Structure 1
Amino acid sequence: MNGTTGATEATGNAGAAGRGAATTGATIELESLTKRYPGNPQPAVENVSMEIKAGETVILVGPSGCGKSTTLKMINRLIEPSGGRIRINGEDVTDIDPVKLRRKVGYAIQSSGLFPHMTVAQNIALVPKMIGWPKARIRARVEEMLDLVGLDAGEFHGRYPRQLSGGQQQRVGVARALAADPPVLLMDEPFGAVDPITRDHLQDELIRLQHELHKTIVFVTHDFDEAIKLGDRIAVLRERSHIAQFDTPEAILTNPADDFVSGFVGAGAALKRLNLTRVRDVGITDYPTVNVEDPLQHIFNQLRAAGTNEILLLDRRGRPYKWLRRGDLMRAKGSLARAGTLVHDTVTRDATLRDALEAVLTDNAGRVAVTGRRGEYEGVVDVETLMNSVHEMLEADRLDAMEHQHDLEEARAEQTHAEQEGFGGNGAKA
């Protein structure tokens, strides 16, 4: 960590484009960070030291009560540290005005934390307004943020939080946290209060946003699968936020530091690795599609001409609506209203192989539609492609294990040879 004051360009495989290309994160250094509460003999957090790179997503994961949320809240001083230092881009923020600090650090929590008496637009505009942005810039930023999180500005601008679904509220919460373009985003179990399907989609949305924006994200969760899916690195914390292991998801899955980390990873580490590969990394194929506004004869013709036994019907916005099989229209007497099977699940390009496999197996039809940021159809991924990727992953793991075993045997042989070189044949040292 060099302590420079300028933001460092984040590196990685995400190609930032458009408005997000110039936005970068900031380095964060925690030095002996400690929190003691009066009347408690043991500190809640004790001597935590950690370096987080600019543009990196770091996940704090550990059992309930281990101090992970307390550690997170000390970064923006919602909880004041009892000791230690916090540096953001080399600047010691421990002694600066905490209100000014919080305006420079985005913060998203469980259940969104939106103000119920404010509209969506007013919630998002809150911090830009507080720091004195001009009205025209704020209006443009609100629209930009809503577009960024996949919500139509015209539709959601004037709504109140109570008029939104849980997933929509969380999207607005993230938009509000990002509105003033902070280099750092803190997230405290932000998706913990929504249903599993919405949670998967929100996780995918966060991954997509990070590809565009390259923020520095510190994210608290108790869900290790979520940590694997989202994190560049994961800090597995014991009680009082003592760091048991701080490493990449791959390293923690394949080489846990001790029994505590192994227990937290749990069974099925090989299957958990499915969370490390995205749908975008495997083959997405095109599929014959028709639109609900197409004439029935055109749909009949497309069904006959399709190389598959079914076709995907899209709604007026180009989103997957129904799977139509040959004979569906005949049995439904030519009516699209009764024909076909509704599309119940889709995945995005940022979904994991685990998400995709679950969707395919739930559907029982061997394929799942892939959609874009607004739910528009982009292609299909099938079970054969997914299983081939799983087999390749397992084969790579097998080869890595063999190589690791070979290295261990070579090391033992070298050690034995060195010991023999140092002693004579009768056991006396030469």
Structure 2
Amino acid sequence: MTETATGTAAASAASGARIQLENLTKRYPGSPSPAVDDVSLEIKPGETVILVGPSGCGKSTTLRMINRLIEPTSGRIRIDEEDVTDIDPVGLRRKIGYAIQASGLFPHMTVAENIALVPKMVGWSKSRVKDRVEEMLDLVGLDPREFHGRYPRQLSGGQQQRVGVARALAADPPVLLMDEPFGAVDPITRDHLQDELIRLQRELHKTIVFVTHDFDEAIKLGDRIAVLRERSHIAQFDTPEAILTNPADDFVSGFVGAGAALKRLNLTRVRDVGIADFPTVSVDDPIESIFNKLREGPYNELLMLDRRSRPYKWLRRGDLMRAKGSPARAGQLVHDTVTRDATLHDALDAVLIDSSGRVAVTGRRGEFIGVVDMETLMNSVQEMLQADRLAAMEHEHDLEELRHHRTETELEGGADG
């Protein structure tokens, strides 16, 4: 399926629904205190809300009560004003996407069969299910021809998680619940999966409730973050920027941890800082044409792409001299790439571990788009710091004016007395 076709399909998909939790409580028999105690929360349509808090605080229990995998003891759950606490829970779950850690794929089913599961259950036609499977694989960046007939054991951890998200979205639900879905993969794969989720959400506008214990992940993904204490009591519910700059109390400050200013690098995306062109060659190009391109261009380095147009190696003149006629043997492997939805923090990490001083930016299937270099990133950081300084000066000025006004008021009151 083409990019245009996918975009059209995504545009026609069901948008997100409003979720309201009203005095939601869960008590387990024999426990002296509730696991979740009187939680009220409203989530806007199309919003990504992150539930974050220490282990055992009740965040996963709260999430699972929304689709009634765990039945609430008391309270109400409304989705687009419909009270779902009294309707058939199995039917409810078919209308809500659910993605968990380690994907939860059925090992005896192929990728296509896993994705088709819920659409078949709700009565979609065979042709519609078949088209939807291809559409969803394309949407999560997996080639349908390559992955359609594979089994979960034949996939990497990151590929399994992509299929898990595709399955959760297959029946086009307005709500997607995600319970630490990226917790079992390596850090680089996790970064890329987070970027994919951000890209998908920009296209689909679902209502996403996402559980994590990782505050950096919460900052990166969330429109708003609910920081939870014990029994899911809400310590602060606000935007990532507001929580970083103005934590509600010591508990929230402790959860944010050190380096709040650096964590703000997770609020800016690569697509916002300027992606530059960079000269490339193919792994199949003859060595003479590569030499010519190096001589003619302004750079002393080229990026070699593989046969699928993915970044492969950084090539310098000296590398080619040692290549003995085969460019594929020369150069330094590309250690990491970022997508347009990666954060400034991700991009800086990638640049710092790569000897080229820049990082390649890739598309949905890993194809090369451009580069972001250290100078661009540092300029963006400087702009952010300058904006912070100006905001701090304005805040101090406002406080000074407030103090001055209070002093004048007190003096006038004293004179009247």
Q: TM bucket by the smaller chain?
A: over 0.9
Indicate which of 369, 377, 381 corresponds to 1:390.
381
Q: Shift in Å at residue 326 of structure 1?
A: 0.9
Distance (whole Å) between structure 1 residues aligned to residue 337 and residue 318 of structure 2? 24
Indicate which of 99, 109, 123 corresponds to 1:118.
109
Once the two structures are superposed, the pairs formed by residues 144-293 of structure 1 within 5 Å of their partners are 144-293=135-284
Q: Shift in Å at residue 329 of structure 1?
A: 1.6
Within the alignment, does 1:336 sit opposite 2:336 as a pair?
no
Distance (whole Å) between structure 2 residues aligned to residue 17 and residue 233 of structure 1? 26
SS at match of 1:333: coil
Instruction: Give the conservation status (yes or no) of the 8 Å contact 2:274–2:372.
Output: yes
Instruction: Give the conservation status (yes or no) of the 8 Å contact 2:101–2:181.
Output: yes
Distance (whole Å) between structure 1 residues aligned to residue 297 and residue 283 of structure 2? 17
Instruction: Give the conservation status (yes or no) of the 8 Å contact 2:10–2:204.
Output: yes
Q: Shift in Å at residue 158 of structure 1?
A: 0.8
Within the alignment, does 1:21 sit opposite 2:14 as a pair?
no
Distance (whole Å) between structure 2 residues aligned to residue 126 and residue 22 of structure 1? 21
Distance (whole Å) between structure 2 residues aligned to residue 209 and residue 376 of structure 1? 17
Indicate which of 306, 314, 336 corresponds to 2:297.
306
Within the alignment, does 1:368 sit opposite 2:338 as a pair?
no
Instruction: Give the conservation status (yes or no) of the 8 Å contact 2:19–2:78.
Output: yes
Correspondence for 2:287: 296
Correspondence for 2:36: 45
Instruction: Give the conservation status (yes or no) of the 8 Å contact 2:314–2:356.
Output: no
Instruction: Give the conservation status (yes or no) of the 8 Å contact 2:53–2:212.
Output: yes
Distance (whole Å) between structure 1 residues aligned to residue 399 and residue 374 of structure 2? 37
Within the alignment, does 1:348 sit opposite 2:339 as a pair?
yes
Distance (whole Å) between structure 2 residues aligned to residue 129 and residue 283 of structure 1? 44
SS at match of 2:76: strand
Structure 1 stretches of 5 or more lacking a match?
1-15
Correspondence for 2:90: 99
Distance (whole Å) between structure 1 residues aligned to residue 198 and residue 211 of structure 2? 15
Task: Give the helix-richer structure, 1 or 2.
Answer: 2
Within the alignment, does 1:57 sit opposite 2:57 as a pair?
no
Q: Shift in Å at residue 293 of structure 1?
A: 2.0
- For residue 271 of structure 2, what is the amino acid of its counterpart? R
Within the alignment, does 1:359 sit opposite 2:368 as a pair?
no
Aligned-residue Cα RMSD (Å) equals: 1.0
Distance (whole Å) between structure 1 residues aligned to residue 358 and residue 376 of structure 2? 10
Correspondence for 2:3: none
Distance (whole Å) between structure 2 residues aligned to residue 330 and residue 393 of structure 1? 43
* Stretch deviating more after TM superposition (411-420 or 274-283): 411-420
- For residue 12 of structure 2, what is the amino acid of its counterpart? A
Structure 1 segments of 4+ aligned residues over 6 angstroms from their partners: none
Within the alignment, does 1:422 sit opposite 2:408 as a pair?
no
Distance (whole Å) between structure 1 residues aligned to residue 7 and residue 117 of structure 2? 27
**Alignment CA distance shift 1:284-1:209 (3 Å):** same
SS at match of 2:274: coil
- For residue 34 of structure 1, what is the amino acid of its counterpart? T
SS at match of 2:184: coil
Normalised to the residue count of structure 2, the TM-score between the two structures is 0.97
Indicate which of 60, 66, 76 corresponds to 2:67.
76
Q: What whole-Å deviation, never above 9, does each CA across 1:170-201 have from its counterpart, x for those lacking one?
A: 00000000000000000000000000000000
Q: Shift in Å at residue 17 of structure 1?
A: 4.5
Instruction: Give the conservation status (yes or no) of the 8 Å contact 2:283–2:328.
Output: no
SS at match of 2:277: coil
Distance (whole Å) between structure 2 residues aligned to residue 68 and residue 37 of structure 1? 15
- For residue 150 of structure 2, what is the amino acid of its counterpart? R
Structure 2 stretches of 5 or more lacking a match?
1-5
SS at match of 1:337: helix
Q: What whole-Å deviation, never above 9, does each CA across 1:24-53 have from its counterpart, x for those lacking one?
A: 100000000000000011100001001100
